[in-house]
Structure 1
């Protein structure tokens, strides 16, 4: 923080300031977060270090694992009464969203999944901070899932169901017009808000790292400082790349200090480079531009002498900045000059970005025409091509071909695609290729599904049964697996689910469905964990249910396997290869970064049958399916691809359907590989694209 006794309104006075650092690392029923304990200890050390924050240790209180709401909020209330200048309140732990106006809930050690009353509404914390009493500045830093929901203009109010997570928030955010909370301003009683994620994104606690992803970078900046302006992604444009802008201390900041704005920019830049959730900030009255902590990367230099002002400006005839004569070395002077040039270029780039976004009809980003549109993505997967021919199309000029969330190959170049929009439809697609060439998909037929038995139906996974007369559909709502006749779309029966998949499922459950090539086995995959299973360091502890039976006949529950998703991702689809081997599509959407699309292989043959296991939290790693990763689509060629929102690779979209081709490729550079088709769900949004992908995949490898 600024010098003690600094000029009011120009810097923080650490002697008159306080901090309350709250965190939960141990839970009775949720995943433990061991990195949080490290966060708390290190953050207090930094804020009370005389070379960084300079706050007296007695003014900074750590609250680890408060058992009750009172135990968590009373220290904040006491600090409000004690601090006269600045109060910093930090929280790290699990966070969740509720459909009511409270939005974000912070958790306690006893918080239970599905029980809103066991958490702390963020609005309660905000009310404790008050508005009419000292301190003059209130800084809130939140490191938890969906923390960006407290930023003004972000809302969870349109979500359905309590404790909504990825799919509900993604559906809301895809409209890019998130409904504001009526009358709710996250800045009430707060001078500055810093959150670890956007409002619809989960925070990360990467396995093997000492701190959580956001706080680790925040601590690094406090400890190391910022030696020189560095590139950052532009606000609201995460794909702008490292050359999009530079973070420099705001005008007027002492060179030896960092502002909250400078810290935020550097943390954001670093997280962007690591493809991790991006922090968000909001402030009042320019507090973010004031000196906050000492910049440990800048050593004091002797004051610059007054330069005579010449007729050509305040820096004299040569126009040199005053830094040129402050005793710095030639290297330092050159670095400063380069920083000035970068700042000028940054202003131009920012203006161009604003202009591009302001044109409603323009794509957000499109790759150059000279970049390849096909080629290797990894050792095991190559991109044959993609097609946006279905985007914005209506079948027979009446029914939009969108919301495609499931895919099943019906022939060499034919497939059925499942739309999750009510009442539920399947479209007969001519893919325009058997896989050797880029697709050129078009809808040639359609069936409307007719579910029976009442209740909501939300089809997500699709299997075309052997013989082509019936399809099986996994419905997220319910949940259920239903059989429909292809000829007229009438429901003819259901597959009975095990009790635990019904009684302990959340709003995100049955998403993926696949059948073995001979139809003997049916596999159903969960998108998100059961309430009892939860997550481990951001990785979903999921279940894949295997059924045995015959195509068109009865299927009965057989074995249940444990599967761990990658951090921050959820299962969208699976393809059964035979021999209890699967391809699993894992995806997610992060506001400001776009989509993540990765395909994993899974070997269930040696995994434990967890049908009778109440919770996967206590299961050892060898109880889970063995995994390998054939491809992350971000590594695929991007030529010719367009994106209607920020993406790390414009090829990426909200892929939800996946199906293996009918036969190996017989020609071309990838002869012998199997074609793999993906389709994206545009969520009925003008800001997302219905896209079909054709990949060539090697299937002769497995888990190490």
Structure 2
């Protein structure tokens, strides 16, 4: 599959509880949801259709939260992202549950158990899961959310990436008067501003490492992760602070340092690298067109460099690279990357469902005795 989720076949559910009647309120959580929605639906990140990013704010009951998760889980075929911010609690057995507005510590029936959520994800046809938990245990002073490493251990799902704010020392900050919780605020900053001198795209592993570094530098608790299979390579956003470095360029005998196509894991990165090739060559578009054999107009070169999708055929790109002076052996590497990106794209994605599309009734509620369900490997 492509490292960048297909937006038409991917879904996100963002859940947040900021107002509690019996636990300390977490007002910063309320600001997390619209900011994450704006990011996930923008070209900067996944570019999800608006109706593929469901926000569930202050869910009063378990169905209010889980029905939205199941709806997305039923329809997602590429990637499913679930985000929860609020109080994360442990019951008397040490099992994790998410605190709803009337939650009481130690009473799982006042929240949503992780097991109920996990059953939905286990049944989903989605190929990849991203679970972001900005929560821990309750019972802390205002501005603090407690937790332990049990959170990540219990939330581990096959073929998934769990990113949790709860560190091993049991504290995750939600500072009073802050616009966002510490964890989500730093996550938003990284995705918007990028990481200077790193890759063209920000995958989950890179974001996680930067989160730990940035939060530690501020004296804040560090997050944790649990990864299954290759989910860490999944891209969250384009790197807005991308700067070519020796690690991302290849020099030829003339001294030119060409972008490395093998560092291009998405169509956007590939197209950006094509533009960078001309800059490295030092030629104008008109000059490049004059080097092409057979001749090609400057307008054709400009059209190639202004594409928003990969070229369907290879010929024009090959001619362009050769005219810029890219060595023939490197042109083959570009072709290999183009071919890999083309074959991992969903060329005929399923259109988004209409409002009349029925939801399949696997259900999050307990199944009847003897019922069968498909478990993911």
Q: TM-score range by the shorter chain?
A: 0.5 to 0.7
| Structure with greater helix percent | 2
Q: How far did residue 224 of structure 1 move?
A: 1.1
Q: How far did residue 127 of structure 1 move?
A: 1.4
Q: 1:52 to 1:188 in 2, by over 3 A?
A: closer
2:14 equivalent to 1:21:
yes
Q: How far did residue 164 of structure 1 move?
A: 8.5
Corresponding residue for residue 117 of structure 2: 125
SS at match of 1:142: strand
Contact 2:17–2:101 (CA under 8 A) maintained in structure 1: yes
Contact 2:40–2:47 (CA under 8 A) maintained in structure 1: yes
2:137 equivalent to 1:137:
no
TM-score after normalising by structure 1: 0.34
Q: How does 1:146-165 map to 2 (within 5 A)?
A: none
Corresponding residue for residue 194 of structure 1: 163
RMSD value, Cα? 3.2
Corresponding residue for residue 261 of structure 1: 205
Gap regions ≥5 residues in structure 2: 142-147, 261-275, 283-377
SS at match of 2:84: strand
SS at match of 2:45: coil
Deviation digits for residues 430-470 of structure 1 (CA, Å, limit 9, x no counterpart):
xxxxxxxxxxxxxxxxxxxxxxxxxxxxxxxxxxxxxxxxx
Corresponding residue for residue 294 of structure 1: 238
Contact 1:19–1:79 (CA under 8 A) maintained in structure 2: yes
Q: How does 1:269-308 map to 2 (within 5 A)?
A: 269-298=213-242
Corresponding residue for residue 58 of structure 1: 51
Q: Separation in 1 of the partners of 2:61 and 2:161?
A: 26
Higher relative contact order (CA 8 A, sep 6+): 2
Corresponding residue for residue 228 of structure 1: 197
SS at match of 1:130: helix
Deviation digits for residues 386-410 of structure 1 (CA, Å, limit 9, x no counterpart):
xxxxxxxxxxxxxxxxxxxxxxxxx
Q: How far did residue 298 of structure 1 move?
A: 3.3
Q: Separation in 2 of the partners of 1:329 and 1:44?
A: 40
SS at match of 1:100: coil
2:131 equivalent to 1:112:
no
2:32 equivalent to 1:39:
yes
Corresponding residue for residue 368 of structure 2: none
Contact 2:159–2:229 (CA under 8 A) maintained in structure 1: no
Q: 1:84 to 1:114 in 2, by over 3 A?
A: closer
Contact 1:88–1:140 (CA under 8 A) maintained in structure 2: yes
Q: Separation in 1 of the partners of 2:47 and 2:280?
A: 27
Q: Separation in 1 of the partners of 2:255 and 2:228?
A: 35
Q: Separation in 2 of the partners of 1:196 and 1:296?
A: 24
Contact 2:61–2:111 (CA under 8 A) maintained in structure 1: no
Contact 1:21–1:62 (CA under 8 A) maintained in structure 2: yes
Q: 1:290 to 1:138 in 2, by over 3 A?
A: closer
Q: How far did residue 85 of structure 1 move?
A: 0.7
**How many pairs does the alignment contain?**
256
Corresponding residue for residue 49 of structure 1: 42
Corresponding residue for residue 371 of structure 2: none
Contact 2:78–2:126 (CA under 8 A) maintained in structure 1: yes
SS at match of 2:82: strand
SS at match of 2:104: coil
Q: Separation in 1 of the partners of 2:255 and 2:170?
A: 47
Q: Separation in 2 of the partners of 1:189 and 1:129?
A: 10
Corresponding residue for residue 293 of structure 2: none
Contact 1:96–1:165 (CA under 8 A) maintained in structure 2: no
Corresponding residue for residue 69 of structure 2: 76
Contact 1:203–1:277 (CA under 8 A) maintained in structure 2: yes
Deviation digits for residues 479-514 of structure 1 (CA, Å, limit 9, x no counterpart):
xxxxxxxxxxxxxxxxxxxxxxxxxxxxxxxxxxxx
Contact 1:52–1:296 (CA under 8 A) maintained in structure 2: no
Q: Separation in 1 of the partners of 2:32 and 2:55?
A: 10
Q: How far did residue 98 of structure 1 move?
A: 3.1
Q: How far did residue 39 of structure 1 move?
A: 0.2
Q: Separation in 2 of the partners of 1:321 and 1:283?
A: 35
Q: How far did residue 291 of structure 1 move?
A: 2.7
SS at match of 1:268: helix
Q: 1:165 to 1:33 in 2, by over 3 A?
A: closer
Q: How far did residue 265 of structure 1 move?
A: 1.4
SS at match of 1:144: strand
TM-score after normalising by structure 2: 0.61
Q: Separation in 2 of the partners of 1:134 and 1:111?
A: 31
Q: Separation in 2 of the partners of 1:222 and 1:9?
A: 19
Q: Separation in 1 of the partners of 2:223 and 2:281?
A: 35
Q: How does 1:86-105 map to 2 (within 5 A)?
A: 86-102=79-95, 104-105=96-97
Q: Separation in 1 of the partners of 2:206 and 2:257?
A: 21
Q: 1:121 to 1:271 in 2, by over 3 A?
A: same
Q: How far did residue 316 of structure 1 move?
A: 4.7
Q: Which stretch has the larger CA shift, 30-39 or 114-123?
A: 114-123
Gap regions ≥5 residues in structure 1: 1-7, 147-162, 167-172, 230-248, 250-254, 308-314, 331-704
Q: How far did residue 275 of structure 1 move?
A: 0.9
